[in-house]
Amino acid sequence: MCGIAGTVDWGGQHPADALELEAMLNVIRHRGPDEAGIYTDAQAALGSVRLSIIDLSTGRQPISNEDGSLWIVFNGEVFNYPELRVDLERRGHRFTTQSDTEVILHLYEDLGPACLDRLNGQFAIAIWDRRRERLFLARDRVGICPLFYAEPADGLIFGSEIKALLESPRVSTRLDRYALAQALTFWAPLAPRTSFEGIRELPPGHYLVAGPEGCTVTRYWGLAFPQAGEERRISEADAADQLRALLLDATRLRLRADVTVGSYLSGGLDSTLIAALARDHTTEVLRTFSISFEDATFDERAYQELAADFLGTEHHRVECQTHDIGAVFPDVVRHAEAPILRTAPAPMFLLSQLVRDNGIKVVLTGEGADEFFGGYNIFKEDKVRRFWARDPGSQLRPLLLQRLYPYVTGLAQGRNAYLAAFFGAGLTATDEVAYSHRIRWRNTARLHRFLSADVQAALEGYDCVTEFVDGLDGAFTGCGTLAQAQALEITTFMSPYLLSSQGDRMLAAHGVEGRFPFLDHRVIEFANALPPQLKLRGLEEKRIVRRSAAGLLPDQIARRRKQPYRAPIHRAFFEQSLPYVEALMGPDALRSAGIWNPAAVDKLRRKCDSGNGLSESEDMALAAILSTQLLQHLFVDRVRQPSAGKRTNPLIV
């Protein structure tokens, strides 16, 4: 990954300031530690910090077209750039670099925003049209690369991370209470809303055009599923063959780099399959990386070692101690720039550090398979509840739910009454498009009870679920029930949380780029057209992925049920003395921030100190409280990390 930032002023009151741009770039230098560059004119300033992966010698940004009328900065990769370049050269374009960045610029020169349809990749793009005084911003289809912006009077400020925008004196800093309500329901704010008032996130699959007359945001790509019963007619054998071919090509393209490409290897089906495909298309031994845990509840090292031995990779592993999570959590929040309801990003932060310490800048991962091929328990839960809803009085049907969440206290051992109480709410409302996710959202929204009276009063009447469902405007209502659940999971979880707080931000923290073959748009569109039984057959998840992987993986991994990736929460913060926890969860700090109810937090804190186990909801509340207090402390109170990376915050050690 790289980092980009820029400012535009159409009113003449805030001309381009190179020093301001340099400050913006300095705070995101972790994204691109290899080199930096800026462009300024009377109205615009564009800059980039670069992680050199393709065209190491001549790919420095910003880059202009032949006559200097267009300037681009770019974060990400366009994997089909060699093929696009050949066509552009035939049409007379002259290139001064070997980079994919310059390909995008010339393609935009010819096609305008329609160029986005030609790109196979992950990207955040900014192009300044000096003659027309227009700024063009664009983000990839599913939101792998982040892009934020603010609109002060007669201007626009953008950056790869929010902290870059906060370096501008024209951007104020205040946490957005509505974004917090979304995070305490969906696990993350939903674009265009961010954790900060006045700062917006360009949604996945959208582009923005800004000029003196204003700013417009347009969708160029969106999720599409066939109507129920109109899915593609294809045999399982043919679907498996086609999927393997697509994944092989997607992986081949994502191995394009002028540096060594490694691969994450969790020990699960998805990452092992991608590593297997990559191994056969590299000229050197594939280097793989994984996380293990001291706590056997979360540990998967046996499967990781099995996969690495089977594939013959050079394997590296970081063992995450419970206290490591608490120690790095402030850094995790500083990079995530959003409330976090789980500690799962922290081990990913440590994993990317391991990757970089081993001299690797690029890793392949298996993200996307669960969302697009029916891998999550929430899809099974939806299927079981719909089956139960056909006979609501059944005593046997709800027992199927016991198998789904063995790690949630009470559910695995729960009897009929407990299961009925937990999963039975809204059981028969099966026509509702959000049916699959209502229980999750309702249970997560219980965290609102920890909010202060002032915040609860400010949020009175605001229903983020209704807002989100109304915003769908009827989309997906005619699709199959699995497709509806997938659409919700992709929109409210994968893009805003999994690819952000747990993905890009933890990778970029150490200057590492993740690449995702399952998120190639051709794979996505193939998956979305498949009949549901090829994804979720009975309660067997990712049926077609398993069939495609036949012969490529050890049988124990190919047949293995998905183990959700999780990490310890309350023990990470209270099995050791952490000054920032003591300070930020104290009553004075809580009252000063005004976000949380000190009495409710004190009760939670005393339960932690007692040694009694916390419920799933209480664990999530603890992570939410600490992460939000850290956001307030790190950004709103304007205590910053300097560009050199040294700590000045006395609370964080």
pLDDT at 368 over 50: yes
Numbered ranges of CATH 3.40.50.620 in the chain: 236-318+352-372+497-558
Class of domain 3-219: alpha beta
**pLDDT tens digits, 461-484:** 999 999 999 999 899 999 999 999
Q: What strands, in cross-sheet order, belong to the sheet with 206-211? A: 63-64, 70-78, 121-129, 134-139, 206-211, 214-219
Q: Give the span between the Cα atoms of 119 and 144, in whole angstroms.
A: 14
**pLDDT tens digits, 27-42:** 999 999 999 999 999 9
* pLDDT top residue among 609 and 292: 292
Q: Which whole-number Å values give the CA distances from 147 to 274, 343, 392, 533, 565, in the listed order? A: 27, 24, 46, 36, 27
Residue closest to 46 by CA, chosen among 14, 76, 17, 69 = 17
Single pTM value for the model: 0.95
b/e map 503-512, b = 16+ CB within 10 Å: bbbbbbbbbb
pLDDT at position 639: 44
pLDDT at 643 over 80: no
pLDDT at position 247: 98
Q: What mean pLDDT is predicted for residues 180-189?
A: 98
pLDDT at position 408: 63
pLDDT at position 650: 33
Torsion sign across C-alpha atoms 505, 510, 513, 519: negative
pLDDT at 581 over 50: yes
The SS3 of residue 210 is strand
pLDDT at position 415: 59
pLDDT at 221 over 60: yes
- CATH code of the domain occupying 236-318+352-372+497-558: 3.40.50.620
Helices and strands: H and E segment counts in the chain: 26, 17
Q: Give the span between the Cα atoms of 593 and 428, in whole angstroms.
A: 42
pLDDT at position 32: 94
Residue closest to 286 by CA, chosen among 334, 251, 326, 320 = 251
Q: Average per-residue pLDDT in the chain?
A: 93
pLDDT at position 409: 58
In the structure, what pLDDT confidence band is assigned to residue 412 with cuts at 50, 70 and 90? low
Q: Give the span between the Cα atoms of 370 and 542, in whole angstroms.
A: 7
**pLDDT tens digits, 132-142:** 999 999 999 99
pLDDT at 649 over 60: no
Q: What mean pLDDT is predicted for residues 164-188?
A: 95
Q: What mean pLDDT is predicted for residues 143-162?
A: 96
pLDDT at 163 over 80: yes
